[in-house]
Amino acid sequence: MTQTNKHRHNSNPQLVRNCSQLPKGDVSSIPLTAATTAEITAVVDKVCEYVRERYTWYYPFAELQHLTGCRVSEAFNLRLWRIDDAGCYTLQPNKGNNIRHFPPEWTDQIEALRVWASTWSSQYVSESNYRRIIRYAFRRFGLVHYSPGGFALSGCHTFRHAYVKRALEYEPTWEELLYDTGEKTRKALSQYVDSQFYILNTNPKN
């Protein structure tokens, strides 16, 4: 990492500290605002743009997660992605659950992102570094989510949570949502359906 990127990575330490101190119970003392689906999507867009501008070699992985809701390990494991006879990308989730079939209108975009990702060698791309960058980017823009276990700092899996929130706008059935996400059971899917997003009201100026 260059000195410039090191400086940028720590450009808003107060926000990072605020996010790190989120409690698991009462949050009345924390300046949080419930986030709408549109606001969640706007933050995720900002995260992808932040990565594209400052960590270009990680951008296709972030955009793949944003577009498809795939897990970070699936985004990095490009050999799992296939095009079926109908010209649609399919993905066998690495947890052994249902095969996902992506809409045909996504094919060109997914292919472009896969080609871009494949141009970077392993010396530039590290899954652990990517996780840290994404975690910081979400903290930078103040997005956190709540589950039955308490508040969680947003990170790579937030892309999947946000994907499900967008899908819920179309009022799908449980069966449709299970098919769309590749999850196998309602219990596994409910962690995404029941999660709540909040904006921490101390966002940086830039």
Q: What is the mean pLDDT of the chain?
A: 78
**pLDDT tens track for 95-107:** 656 788 888 889 9
Angstrom distance (rounded) from CA 181 to CA 163: 9
Distance CA(60)–CA(63), nearest Å, equals 5
**pLDDT tens, position by position, 13-63:** 333 334 444 444 444 556 678 889 999 999 999 999 999 999 999 999 999
User: ∠ CA(84), CA(78), CA(41), 5° rounding?
Assistant: 90
Inter-residue long-range contacts of 46-55, CB under 8 Å, 24+ positions, other chains counted: 46/137, 46/141, 47/134, 47/137, 47/138, 47/141, 50/137, 50/140, 50/141, 51/133, 51/134, 51/137, 54/5, 54/8, 55/5, 55/133
pLDDT attached to residue 191: 81
* Side-chain half-sphere CA neighbours of 182 within 13 A: 19
Strand boundaries in the chain, DSSP class E: 32-34, 81-83, 89-91, 100-101, 143-147, 150-153, 196-200
170 falls in which pLDDT band (50, 70, 90)?
A: confident
Q: What is the pLDDT of residues 126-153, one digit of tens each?
A: 899 999 999 999 988 888 877 666 666 6
Residue 147: the pLDDT is 67
Which two structure tokens, joined as six digits, stand for 56?
Answer: 């270009």
